[in-house]
Amino acid sequence: MALGQFAYANNSNRFLACAPLAEQPYAVCGIPFDGVVTNRPGARFGPQAIRAASLMLCDGIHPVFDVSPLEHLGDALDMRLPNASPLPEVRAHIERQASELMARHHCVFLGGDHSVTLSLLRAAKARHGGEPLALVHFDAHCDTWSDHFGEPSGHGTWTYEAIQEGLVSAAHTVQIGTRSSGERAARDYVADQGGQIFTARDLRGLDGSALRPVVTAIRERLAGRPVYLTLDIDVLDPAFAPGTGTPEPGGLTSSQVLTFLEELATLNWIGMDCVEVAPAYDHAELTSNAAACFVWTYLAGRVARAEA
Ligand SMILES: [Mn+2]
């Protein structure tokens, strides 16, 4: 066996950096921007850490979906962005590059801070018929603050902006894992607008079959619609994901998130992002490993559905 056939001997042989992007149906793309974080910066280095952590997924047959997304996946590398420019300009760059990729591939974007999702939703809505999208939002934070500590927009306002702008349908928005401090009007905004919130407290101690009623409620609410998935890694408890800018104790386990991703694989997913991995605060690649595994699970679910 040639040395290069050993995954651990060849750092270029990583699942999420497996092949240059050509005509593959699925693409990953990094968005190395963290210009509007509230607390600790560093998520601009998330994409490279998630790719590195995907090393051992490179030939991985998924244990639930029994497929490997490897041959269907290309790496579009990282977006080139004017990082020091005002946020609207950065967002326009992200939207344009995302639109070009979405026209040719089913995309998973690696953040970056969570502000990038607004641009991705703008591109995704235009791509998928122009009707407000359904949204599944994993996060410790509601991200429905109507301002960012006195500024109009940041990484904690995009959900509010997406609903106000009609990018997503509030009634078809589901938040999972929220638990941070915040005023009630922001914390309950999605529910007040007709959507659904499962806080981390709601989900304490529930996993496997005990999560079934929650999964069923989400499936019924979002059935038949194009659904976008945004996964802030800080939805996990800091024990599972210390490497993030705004950690909040009392979060979900990796196992709970995997249950959701596996059980919701039948939804009509149109794209995903995984954001807020900040490697400088990570330990033993816990956070980037979790992110790589979640992205792999999402893609395996898509490939399995396409082959069914
Ligand atoms: Mn968050």
Residue pLDDT tens, the chain, 308 long: 233 333 343 444 456 666 788 899 999 999 999 999 989 999 999 999 999 999 777 668 999 999 999 889 999 999 999 999 999 999 999 999 999 999 999 999 999 999 999 999 999 999 999 999 999 999 999 999 998 888 889 899 999 999 999 999 999 999 999 999 999 999 999 999 999 999 999 999 999 999 999 999 999 999 999 999 999 999 999 999 999 999 999 999 999 999 999 999 999 999 999 999 999 999 999 999 999 999 999 999 999 999 88
Identify the pLDDT of residue 127: 98
Annotated binding site: 114, 139, 141, 143, 232, 234
Q: Are 83 and 33 in contact (CB under 8 A)?
A: yes
Side chain identity at residue 273, one-letter code = D
Global confidence as pTM: 0.94
* Tokens encoding 274: 């995984």
Q: How far is the CA of 43 from the centre of ligand 1 (A)?
A: 12
Cα 110 to averaged position of ligand 1 atoms, centre (Å): 14
Ion ligand 1 neighbours, Cβ < 5 Å:
139-141, 232, 234
Q: Identify the CA nearest to 138 among candidates 293, 275, 299.
A: 275
List phi, psi (to 5°) of 75: -105, 115
> Which residues lie below 8 Å from residue 17, measured CB to CB, with a gap of 6+?
51, 54, 75
Both tokens of 175, joined, read 């938040």
Strand residues in the chain grouped as ranges (E): 26-31, 73-78, 106-111, 133-138, 168-176, 196-198, 227-232, 269-275
Spatial separation of the C-alpha atoms in residues 195 and 144, rounded to whole Å:
13
Distance CA 24, CA 170 (A): 33
Task: Compute the distance from residue 135 Cα to the ligand 1 centre, in Å.
Answer: 15
**Whole-number Å distance between alpha carbons of 174 and 273:** 15
Which helix (H) or strand (E) segment is 296 a member of?
Answer: helix 286-307
| Residue in this structure with the two tokens 């059980």, named with its chain if needed | 263
Catalogue all structural domains in the chain, each as residue range(s) with its CATH number.
15-307 (3.40.800.10)
Binding residues for Mn(2+): 114, 139, 141, 143, 232, 234
Q: What is the pLDDT of residue 308?
A: 81
Counting Cα atoms < 13 Å in the Cβ hemisphere of 150 gives 0
Q: What pLDDT score does 58 carry?
A: 64
Residue 152 is predicted with a pLDDT of 87
- In the prediction, which pLDDT does 275 show? 98
Q: How far is CA 41 from CA 61, 120, 235, in A?
A: 35, 21, 17
Q: How many CB atoms lie within 10 A of CB 165?
A: 14
